[in-house]
Amino acid sequence: MTKTSTRPLQILIVDDHAVVRVGLRNLINDELGLRVVGEASTCAEALALAGPTNPQVILLDLRLPDGSGVDIIAALKRSARQARVLVLTSFADDTLLLAALKAGADGYLLKDVAEGDLVGAIHKVAEAGAVMPPPKPADGTDWSRATATPWEALTGQERKVFELVGRGHSNREVAELTGLTDKTVRNYLSRVFAKLGRQRRSELVALYVADRVWRGDHSR
C-alpha cells in the first residue's frame, strides 16, 4: 500500500467496552488516511485526552461509567478546538439523539453500522458534514407537509434544502438530489441559516430532528 503525504485524520475513541475500542482501533488504523491517537473509557479520561491529542474526530459512546457522553460534548469541543464529535451508540432513542445534537454533536450513528459506512461517516463529519441514522422504517411521515413549524418562512426550495441537510446530506449530495448547482445550494443554505437564526449545520439537523420527535410524540 502506497503512503500518502497527507496527514491522516486524528481520531479519539471514547467507549467503556475494551472489545469495542479494540475493534474500532483496528478498523480505523487499517484505513489509509485515518489514525487513532487516543482511547478513553470514561468521561474523565476523554476530557483529559482531548486537549493533548487534539483529534479531528471524536467517536463518543453516550453511556459511560462516570456519566453521560452528552454532558461532555461541549467540553470536548472546547478542549480539542478542531474536533468534530460523532456519537456511536447502541441506543436508537430520539430523545438521546436530540440531546446529543443540541449539545453540539456533529453526527449520530448506531453501533450496528457497517464498517464501510462508519469509515465514510468519519470522513463526512471531518469535512463538516452531518451524519444521521436512517429514518425508522414504515414511518409514514411526509416531511414536505410541515405545519406549525419554526421554518414556515422558508420558500419551497429553501425547505427542501433544509430537509435534506437535516437528514445528514452534504452540500454536494443536496445538489445531486435537487438538480441544483453547488453554488445555488450554498446560497439557499445561507438564506436558511439567516431566516432560522442559526450558524451551524448541526443546529439545522437538531431543528429537523426536534420536529420529527415532536410529530412522532403527537402521532402516537
Q: What is the pLDDT along the chain (220 residues), one digit of tens a residue?
A: 344 447 899 999 999 999 999 999 999 999 999 999 999 999 999 999 999 999 999 999 999 999 999 999 999 999 998 899 999 998 877 778 878 888 888 888 999 899 999 999 999 899 877 777 665 443 443 333 333 355 677 898 998 999 898 888 889 999 999 999 999 999 999 999 888 877 778 778 777 776 665 454 333 2
Give the pLDDT of residue 137. Answer: 40
Among 121, 215, 129, 134, smallest CA distance to 165 is for 129
Give the pLDDT of residue 45. Answer: 97
Give the pLDDT of residue 212. Answer: 60
Which secondary-structure segment (H or E) carries 195? helix 182-196
Q: pTM above the 0.85 mark?
A: no
Say if residue 6 is exposed, middle or buried (CB neighbours under 10 Å; 0-12, 13-18, 19+).
exposed
Give the pLDDT of residue 70. Answer: 94
Give the pLDDT of residue 88. Answer: 95
- Tell how strand 63-64 and strand 67-68 pair up: antiparallel
- Helices 18-29 and 115-126, packing angle to 10 deg: 70
**What does the block give as the cell for 171?**
452540500
CATH 1.10.510.10 for the 156-219 domain, yes or no: no
Cα radius of gyration (the chain): 18
Distances (CA, A) of 44 to 28, 37, 56, 66, 184: 23, 17, 19, 8, 44
The CATH superfamily of 9-126 is Response regulator (3.40.50.2300)
Give the pLDDT of residue 140. Answer: 41
Domain with CATH 3.40.50.2300 in the chain: 9-126
The widest CA-to-CA distance across the chain, in whole angstroms, is: 55
Give the pLDDT of residue 149. Answer: 52
| 3-state class (DSSP) for residue 150 | coil
